[in-house]
Amino acid sequence: MTYYLTTVLVYAAVDILACLAISLQFGVSGIVNFSFIIFQAAGAYTAAVLSLPSDSANGGFQTYILGLNLSFPIPWIGATVVGALLAPPIGLVVLRRLRSDYQAIAMLVLSVIASLVVTNTPAFLDGAAGLSLVPQPLSDKFNPYSDGYLWAYTIGALVLAVIVFFIAQRVINSPYGRSLRAMRENEVAANALGKNAVALKMTVFIVGGAIAGLSGAILVGFITTWAPSTWLYPETLILFAAVIVGGRGNNYGAVLGALLVPVGFEEATRYLPPFGPPGLIPALEWVCIGGLILGFLWFRPRGVLPERRRVFPARPKALAAGEQHAGRD
C-alpha cells in the first residue's frame, strides 16, 4: 500500500511540475510546445547518466555516455540545468521566425526526431532498451526499499512541486507575466509597444525547460529506469489535456488538471474490469483524452479554473470622490 500511495503521489508531483511548466509556456505565453516531453526526457537521462556508474559496471549490460556516479543532488541540479540549456537551441530554431501554429508542428517533429535518434543510437543512452538500475538519491546512505525512504522521497518531490508552484505564481503575477500574456494575446502589437517577443518567449521557454528537466530527474530517481517508450510524443498531449481541463494560465488550474487527467484519469481506468481484445482499454483511454480536449475546447475553453481577472485596488481618493466617469457604450 505504501508503495502504491507513494508512487501515485510522486507521479502527481512530477505531473504537477510538468503542468506548471506547460501552463507557463502555453497557458500564459501562448507557446504550443509539443516537444515538451523531450525536455523531461533530457532531465531524466541527465540525472541517470550523472548518477549511474560507468557503463562497464553491472557487467556492462547497458551502454551510455558519462556514467559519472555523482551523488545527490548534483544529478538533479544537472537535469534542471540541461533542461534549461536545451531550450535556447530549440527556441532559436523554432521560436524566432515561425508563426505559432507552425511552431507547434516543428516542436512535434522535433519530439519524434529526438525519440528516433535516441532509439537508434544505442551507444548514446542504450537505445530502445533504455537505462535501468539508476541509483536512487542517497541510496548509499538509506535503504531505498524502506517505507521511510519512500515517504521521504514523496515528501521531497511534493515540496519541490510546491516551491515551483510559488515560483510560477511569482512569474504570472508580475509585470513580466503580464508582458507574457500580452504577447500571447497579440504578439505583433506587443512588439510595437516595445516588448521583445523573442526574448520573452525564450526566457519562458528556458524556465519551462528547467522545470521539465527537474521533473524528469524526480521521476527517474523513483522508478530507476528510463527508455524511449516512456517519453513518446503523445505523453505531451496528456499534459496539454491536463492544462486545458484545469485552466490555462492559472497555476491552480495546472495543479488541478495534473491531478484530474494524468493522475486521476489514468488511475481510475486502472480499475476497469478487462473487456474486449487486448489493448482496447489503453486505446479507449486515448480516445477519452482526445474527447476531453475537444469537449473542453468546445464547451469550456478556459478550463475548470480559468485565468483570473486582475483587479487593482482603487485609489482612496477616487473612492472618496465617488469617481463618476460614465462608461461608454
Partner 1 sequence: MPVETDVVDAGPATPQQMPAERPLLVASHVSRHFEGVRAVQDVSIDVLPGRITGLIGPNGAGKSTFLAVLAGTLPASSGTITFDGHDVTALPAFRRARRGMVRTFQLPSEFAQLTVLENLLAAAPHNRGDSLVGALLGRRYWRADEDRLVEQARVLLERFRMSAKESDYASSLSGGQKRLVEIMRALMLRPRLLLLDEPMSGVHPSIVGEIADYCEALRDEGLTILIVEHELHMIERMCDPVIVMAQGSVIGQGTMAALRQQREIVDAYLVG
CB of 195 to partner 1, least distance (A): 6
Q: Which of residues 188-217 bind partner 1 (CB under 8 A)?
A: 188-197, 203-204, 207
Single residue of 100, 121, 186, 229 touching partner 1 by CB under 8 A: 186
| Residues 6+ positions from 196 with CB-CB distance below 8 Å | none
Among the listed residues 68, 40, 39, 74, the one whose alpha carbon sits nearest the alpha carbon of residue 54: 68
In the bound state with partner 1, the residue whose beta carbon lies nearer, of 142 and 176, is 176
CB of 212 to partner 1, least distance (A): 16
* Structure-block grid coordinates of residue 186: 497579440
In the bound state with partner 1, the residue whose beta carbon lies nearer, of 107 and 180, is 180
Q: Which of residues 154-183 bind partner 1 (CB under 8 A)?
A: 167, 170-171, 173-179, 181-182
In the bound state with partner 1, the residue whose beta carbon lies nearer, of 2 and 186, is 186
CB of 191 to partner 1, least distance (A): 5
In the bound state with partner 1, the residue whose beta carbon lies nearer, of 300 and 315, is 315
CB of 209 to partner 1, least distance (A): 13
CB of 314 to partner 1, least distance (A): 9
| Residues 6+ positions from 151 with CB-CB distance below 8 Å | 2, 6
d(CA 234, CA 204) in angstroms, rounded, equals 22
Cα four-point dihedral sign 43, 47, 48, 49:
positive
In the bound state with partner 1, the residue whose beta carbon lies nearer, of 270 and 325, is 325
* Structure-block grid coordinates of residue 13: 508531483
Among the listed residues 2, 4, 14, 5, the one whose alpha carbon sits nearest the alpha carbon of residue 156: 14
* Contacting range for partner 1; rule: CB under 8 A; set: 90-98, 134-142, 149-157, 184-192: 184-192
**Omega prior to 228 cis, within 30 of 0:** no
d(CA 284, CA 277) in angstroms, rounded, equals 12
3-state SS, residue 27: helix
In the bound state with partner 1, the residue whose beta carbon lies nearer, of 158 and 198, is 198
Cα four-point dihedral sign 73, 255, 196, 106:
positive
Contact between 327 and partner 1 (CB under 8 A)?
A: yes
CB of 321 to partner 1, least distance (A): 11
In the bound state with partner 1, the residue whose beta carbon lies nearer, of 101 and 329, is 329
In the bound state with partner 1, the residue whose beta carbon lies nearer, of 141 and 315, is 315
Q: What are phi and psi for residue 94, nearest 5 degrees?
A: -95, -40
DSSP string over 120-167? H-HHHH-GGG-B--PPPTTTTTS-TTSHHHHHHHHHHHHHHHHHHHHH
Number of residues in contact with partner 1, rule: CB under 8 A? Answer: 40
CB of 203 to partner 1, least distance (A): 5
22-31 core/surface letters (b: 16 or more CB in 10 A; e: else) = bbbbbbbbbb
CB of 204 to partner 1, least distance (A): 8
Q: Which of residues 294-323 bind partner 1 (CB under 8 A)?
A: 307, 309-312, 315, 318, 323
Among the listed residues 113, 108, 119, the one whose alpha carbon sits nearest the alpha carbon of residue 36: 108
In the bound state with partner 1, the residue whose beta carbon lies nearer, of 150 and 184, is 184
CB of 264 to partner 1, least distance (A): 28
Catalog residues that contact partner 1 under the rule CB under 8 A. Answer: 167, 170-171, 173-179, 181-182, 185-186, 188-197, 203-204, 207, 307, 309-312, 315, 318, 323, 325-329
